[in-house]
Amino acid sequence: MTEAKAAADRLVKAKRLNALLTPVKELRKSLTEQALAARPTGVLYGMPVAVKDNICTLEFTTTCGSKILEGYRSPYEATAVAKLKAAGALIAGKTNCDEFAMGSSTEHSAYGRSIHPLDKARVPGGSSGGSAALVAAGAVPAALGSETGGSVRQPASFCGVVGIKPTYGRVSRYGLVAFGSSLDQIGAFGRSVHDAARVLSVISGRDPKDATCEDRDPLRLPTVPESLQGFVIGLPREYFPPDLDPAVRRACDRAVRLMKEQGAAVREVSLPHTQYAVPTYYVIAPAEASSNLARFDGVRFGPRADGATDLRTLYRRTRGEGFGPEVRRRILVGTYVLSAGYYDAYYRRAQQMRALIAQDFRNAFDRGVDLLFTPTTPTPAFKAGEKLADPVAMYLSDIFTVTANLAGLPAISLPVGRVKGLPVGGQFIGQAFLEDEMLEAAYALERAVPATEEA
């Protein structure tokens, strides 16, 4: 009971971040009810976990940061949420995000932007900015986010927390409102690798409700390794371009040195198709999104536009009014690249390029590399408004993260330093379904790296 009150109080204190979409009164009431019902034998018993608002919960509304789902209460909950509850966790409200997870700053939410915990002029990243900000501010020990192109790792990097994206198929997508179906995964935020990993472990595992979820047991957490002896870490040269922000480079170099000191072997590798990753992503994700978002039509659920006396007007007005500009752009781009005459040049070509990108990773791993290490983002958190003028400018901030989504590989971002007080993240990209090796390396780096020190 007191835990529930304390959890609510901590979230209320972080109100200024505009990261939580759930009204305080409803949050308090629900936390109290949930605390009474929670399973005391669960491994996450009593742990408040905030959930990104594109994940369906029975508690609270699910708006995906959009007006088209304003006030929508889902009549079912996501498998990941059910698993959290079965483990005794408390669902500590829904967090703000870019509308339908489309964005890299949480500025594209219909409910206002979220604010970086350390600098109110800056963005916390996106699309899972609300979840990252709350964890970074200490308002909640862990949170769920989702990734399509880096939307957990990038805000984790910006906010100075740990963010994990599992292998595609590790965590059920049932109840995650689909954006890019072949890219989407639910991920976890925590203040430490251990917290994030614990949550990920609970939500992972087979689910007959998701045909793309692999028939595997939940993730088993490794123990913290004594050293990194035997680990071969690859540094892909395409992620350390000559024009990389020097402070980010310094922080990553320091991290690499600390890994070597723990016994890791480090090698340069090449992922030659990296330059095509962002355009490939921005063909595939919008294409799938344009189809996934067709169900938002005002017919069966959600608000409906007023005054439409014929069906087509109902559709166009509901969707035109309900979707924000970034979502509309992506739906249009996606529709275009799938349309007759353009499918081969865009969508089919992008899927083929995706095969090459995945092949790059396989080649690196086949040559004896266990894990890759790279900066998570090219820069620390940017200022609000800085990247809104040109949509492509925003897309380019995904440059180091989209590849793991395209290849379906697990990845983790953890803070490796500060640049003028702003957090910088470094990421490991692991082999498919070998999250345990990736987590071992992350544990080892975490204990050594001075995450809050200037690089």
Partner 1 sequence: MSVTRDDVLRIAQLAELEVEEDGLPALVDQMSRILDYIAQLSPATGSNGLRPFVPGPDAIRFQPDEVKPWPLAFGPEKFAPAFKDGFFVVPKLDQFE
Partner 2 sequence: MGGGGGGWETVIGLETHVQLRTLSKMFCGCSAAFGAAPNTHICPVCLGLPGALPAPNGEALKLAVRAALALGCTVHAKSIFARKNYFYPDLPKGYQISQFEQPLATQGSLSFLAPERGLVTATIVRLHVEEDAGKSLHDRFPKATAVDLNRAGVPLIEIVTGPDFRSPQEARAYLQTLKQVLEYIGVSDCDMEKGSLRVDANVSVRRAGESALGVKTEVKNINSFAYVEKALGVERERQVAALEAGGAIAQQTMLYDSKDNAVRPQRSKEESHDYRYFPEPDLPPLVLTPEFVAEQQSLLPELPASKRERFVAQYGLPRQDAAVLTAGRAVADYYEGVVHAGAEAKAAANWVMGEVLADAKDHAEALRVPAAALAQLIGLVKGGTLSHQAAKRVFGELANRGGDPRTIAEALGVIQVADPTAVAGWVSEVLGTHANEVGRYKSGETKLMAFFVGQVMKASKGKADPKLAQRVLEEKLAP
For partner 2, the binding residues (CB under 8 A) are: 55-56, 62, 64, 69, 72, 74-76, 78, 173-178, 180-182, 208-212, 287-288, 290-291, 293-297, 299-301, 309, 311, 315, 335, 338-340, 343, 347
308 interface partner picked from partner 1, partner 2, none, CB below 5 to 8 A per type: partner 1
Contact set for partner 1, span 173-202 (CB under 8 A)? 182
Query: Would you tell me how many other CB atoms lie within 10 Å of the CB of residue 252?
Result: 25
232 interface partner picked from partner 1, partner 2, none, CB below 5 to 8 A per type: none
We find the least distance from the C-beta atom of residue 61 to partner 1, in angstroms, to be 11
- SS3 at position 139: coil
Report the residue from 270, 335, 363, 379 that binds partner 1 according to the rule CB under 8 A: 335
- SS3 at position 114: coil
Report the residue from 18, 61, 280, 376 that binds partner 1 according to the rule CB under 8 A: 280
Residue 169 interacts with partner 1 (CB under 8 A)? yes
Using CB under 8 A as the binding criterion, the count of chain residues that bind partner 1 stands at 74
Q: Would you say 183 and 438 are in contact if contact means Cβ atoms under 8 Å apart?
A: no
> Can you tell me the distance from the alpha carbon of 127 to that of 148, in angstroms, rounded to the nearest whole number?
9
Report the residue from 316, 378, 434, 448 that binds partner 1 according to the rule CB under 8 A: 316
Q: Would you say 416 and 424 are in contact if contact means Cβ atoms under 8 Å apart?
A: yes
452 interface partner picked from partner 1, partner 2, none, CB below 5 to 8 A per type: none
Report the residue from 337, 384, 411, 416 that binds partner 1 according to the rule CB under 8 A: 337
Place of tokens 């922000």: 245
Contact set for partner 1, span 44-83 (CB under 8 A)? 58, 72-73, 75-76
> Can you tell me the distance from the alpha carbon of 93 to that of 22, in angstroms, rounded to the nearest whole number?
6
Residue 408 interacts with partner 1 (CB under 8 A)? yes
Catalytic residue among 52, 83, 85, 165: 52
Residue 365 interacts with partner 1 (CB under 8 A)? no
Give the torsion sign (CA, 86, 292, 154, 123): negative
Cα separation values, 305 from 82, 100, 232, 311, 318, Å: 33, 19, 57, 11, 5
| Total number of residues shown for the chain | 455
Peptide bond into 114 cis (omega under 30): no
Report the residue from 25, 220, 268, 300 that binds partner 1 according to the rule CB under 8 A: 300
Comparing CB distances to partner 2, the nearer of 88 and 408 is 408
Q: Would you say 87 and 199 are in contact if contact means Cβ atoms under 8 Å apart?
A: no
303 interface partner picked from partner 1, partner 2, none, CB below 5 to 8 A per type: partner 1
We find the least distance from the C-beta atom of residue 340 to partner 2, in angstroms, to be 5
Q: Would you say 228 and 262 are in contact if contact means Cβ atoms under 8 Å apart?
A: yes
Catalytic residue among 127, 157, 172, 290: 127
We find the least distance from the C-beta atom of residue 230 to partner 1, in angstroms, to be 27
Comparing CB distances to partner 1, the nearer of 226 and 390 is 390
Specify whether 52 is catalytic.
Answer: yes
Comparing CB distances to partner 1, the nearer of 71 and 138 is 71
Residue 212 interacts with partner 1 (CB under 8 A)? yes
Comparing CB distances to partner 1, the nearer of 251 and 283 is 283
State the distance between the two ends of the chain, measured CA to CA, in whole angstroms. Answer: 43
175 interface partner picked from partner 1, partner 2, none, CB below 5 to 8 A per type: partner 2
Comparing CB distances to partner 1, the nearer of 48 and 169 is 169
Which residues have C-beta within 8 Å of that of residue 173, sequence separation ≥ 6? 181, 184, 185, 186, 210, 212, 213
DSSP structure string for 352-408? HHHHHHHHHHHHHHHTT--EEEEESSSSSPPBTTTTSS-HHHHHGGGTTTHHHHHHT
Give the active site residues. Answer: 52, 127, 151
